[in-house]
Amino acid sequence: MMAGGSVEGAAADAAERIAASAEEEAMAALQVEGRAVLQAYVEEAAQLRAERGALRGELQAAVIGSRVADQKMSDESARLRREVAELRAEAAAAKRTLRETGGENASIKLQAEAEKAREVQGGLQERIDALTALKERTTELKEREIEETGST
């Protein structure tokens, strides 16, 4: 039985070696699979970091764009406020001028005054003409009297 025991011992050793070899192969396969999973995680983490960097850049660009737009809006608002203030001042000056001229435009008022002056001048000219005619008539009458009476 000794010979049989040695065959059995050899078979058990062989089975043990096969089991150990299978275990080593399984461990090697698990290590390869673990490395592959780890590599996939490392690559995914690198990709996420790259995406995060790109998103951070986009966010910074958006913030800068927002600040530029805000500054433009602020400048435009200030310009419009100045323009409105200038227009209000012009309107106030126009109202003041209208009040001072009695609600008429100054040039229209001047034209009306000029027309009145022309009318007065025309009336005065008529009176001067009438006085001149009267003087001439008086002079004629005096001359006739002198001729008729011979005295001065």
127 part of a folded domain: yes
118 part of a folded domain: yes
36 part of a folded domain: no
Tokens of 49: 């970091």
Is there a contact between 95 and 88 (Cβ–Cβ < 8 Å)?
Answer: no
Which residues span the domain enclosing 128?
Answer: 105-152
CA distance 138 to 132: 10
* Residue 4: per-residue pLDDT: 54
Threshold 0.85, pTM exceeds: no
99 part of a folded domain: no
* Residue 1: per-residue pLDDT: 42
74 part of a folded domain: no
* Residue 151: per-residue pLDDT: 63
123 part of a folded domain: yes
Per-residue pLDDT of the chain (152 residues; tens, 9 = 90+): 445 568 888 888 888 999 889 999 999 999 999 999 999 999 999 999 999 999 999 989 888 988 888 898 888 988 999 998 898 898 888 888 877 776 656 677 778 888 888 888 888 888 899 899 999 999 988 888 888 887 65
115 part of a folded domain: yes
What is the number of domains present in the chain?
A: 1
26 part of a folded domain: no
